[in-house]
Structure 1
């Protein structure tokens, strides 16, 4: 019975060594891939373009209901297309834009909860406060411009 903790420690050490060896093997295999660097550059470039595109979203005049409705429908459609392509970050960005200009966001959230995969819906919930804050600050800036 005294040998159990010692054998358990040895087994844990062996498993740890195997895990490190596994990681080193696949890291070398990944780095020796001739397309690794080009795919990495392409992925980083795409992420940068996505971030720039997100920052350049033109918000509608929230007093113009027709413009808001058009913006809402476009954002929902883009979100659905990106979801189908598996681009969850961009999908969440567009859906959160749509929710932030929606007249009844709670009902829309209930529908999205039923239709979106749970991890994507969680991403959406965590993203909503920052998007709502950005839209409200953009609205207050536009109102200040009108008053001056």
Structure 2
């Protein structure tokens, strides 16, 4: 199963973080609108990411619930019918929650820098470094 290391934090100055990420990545970043639906799951987490353009990703991941950097093991399957898949999963497993956000993605070396504006919650950042498969 692929893995990555993630660090997440609330952001108090999104403009300053975007400026710094822009400098480091030498780009303006890529804007991605997303709606994540989380489903009840007996182990790990299961979410459907609707990319709001007719595409989506079903993502299962296992990650500890703790502060600081953490390893996340995950599996991803792409879909061309996120709404239909959401209906089937909601009917069979039940919805645990939903998150709508606008993500600005910057690539700095092998690190993905996400600056998220989460509807109703504010600004967050995530640093994500891909792990190596054995």
Q: What TM bracket, shorter-length normalisation?
A: under 0.3
> Could you tell me the TM-score, scaled by structure 1's length?
0.24
More helix by share: 1
More strand by share: 2
User: Of the two, which has the highest radius of gyration?
Assistant: 1
Where relative contact order (Cα < 8 A, 6+ residues apart) is larger, the structure is 2
> Could you tell me the TM-score, scaled by structure 2's length?
0.26
